[in-house]
């Protein structure tokens, strides 16, 4: 559960929805939760939200409990939209797309992992912007909005008030980048060391 905080706390929200890809949400959660709990004086808190709150079934069978419903969630300073199979119906779900557009109006920094950026494109948030997504969905990103400047080789793309990342594990890199943006590079290095993130692929 989200921990209590004072009125000055800045909030980071990670969206959950049916068939969300587990690591898209949990990878950034690990980075951001370690940061906010180990360094509370930085003034940030992270929580999860889902449309109706409660339990959410993920793409590979994990079940997680959202901290908030849309109605009970705090005002967010950063919102992260993960990807996964559950994003496919969202691309034509006008209620969800309207909700995403409403967040764009109130949330200073919108971020995505994997195919979360497809939802942003469908909602019109990436028009004329550089962005990326999972490598298998790069063509679909371009189809959804031909004005998007697709960055096929980037691990993540920071375009100021919108940050998109490539697939699945790239969300960890993007989350560490957010820590660096919000609290400085030294803090990001401390968090990276704390979670012992030093990828050395075996093959």
Please give the Cα distance from 31 to 191 (Å, whole number). Answer: 7
58 is a catalytic site residue: no
The residue to which tokens 């999972």 are assigned: 134
Look up residue 102 and give its two tokens.
């409403």
Pick the closest to residue 78 from 173, 10, 180 (CA basis): 10
The residue to which tokens 């370690």 are assigned: 34
Please give the Cα distance from 154 to 140 (Å, whole number). Answer: 17
**Containing H/E element for 129?**
none
Pairing outcome for strands 162-165 and 109-112: parallel
Q: Which listed residue (64, 114, 119, 170) is catalytic? A: 114
Q: Exposed, middle or buried, 41 (CB in 10 Å: 0-12/13-18/19+)? A: exposed
Judged by DSSP in three states, 60 sits in coil
Q: Which residues are catalytically annotated?
A: 114
């Amino acid at each position: 559960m989200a921990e209590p905080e004072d009125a000055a706390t800045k909030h980071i929200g990670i969206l959950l929805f049916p068939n969300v890809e587990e690591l898209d949400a949990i990878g950034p959660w690990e980075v951001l939760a370690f940061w906010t709990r180990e360094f509370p004086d930085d003034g940030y808190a992270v929580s999860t939200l889902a449309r109706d709150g409660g339990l959410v079934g993920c793409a590979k069978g994990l079940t997680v409990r959202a901290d908030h419903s849309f109605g009970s969630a705090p005002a967010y300073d950063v919102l992260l939209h993960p990807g996964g199979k559950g994003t496919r119906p969202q691309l034509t779900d006008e209620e969800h797309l309207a909700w995403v557009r409403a967040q764009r109006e109130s949330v200073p920094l919108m971020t995505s992992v994997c195919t979360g950026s497809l939802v942003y494109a469908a909602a019109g948030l990436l028009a004329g912007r550089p962005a990326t997504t999972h490598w298998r969905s790069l063509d679909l990103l371009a189809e959804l909005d031909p004005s998007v400047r697709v960055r096929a080789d980037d691990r993540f793309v920071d375009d100021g008030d919108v940050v998109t990342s490539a697939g699945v594990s790239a969300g960890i890199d993007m989350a560490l980048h957010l820590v660096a943006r919000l609290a400085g590079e030294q803090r990001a290095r401390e968090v990276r060391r704390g979670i012992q993130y030093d990828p050395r692929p075996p093959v």
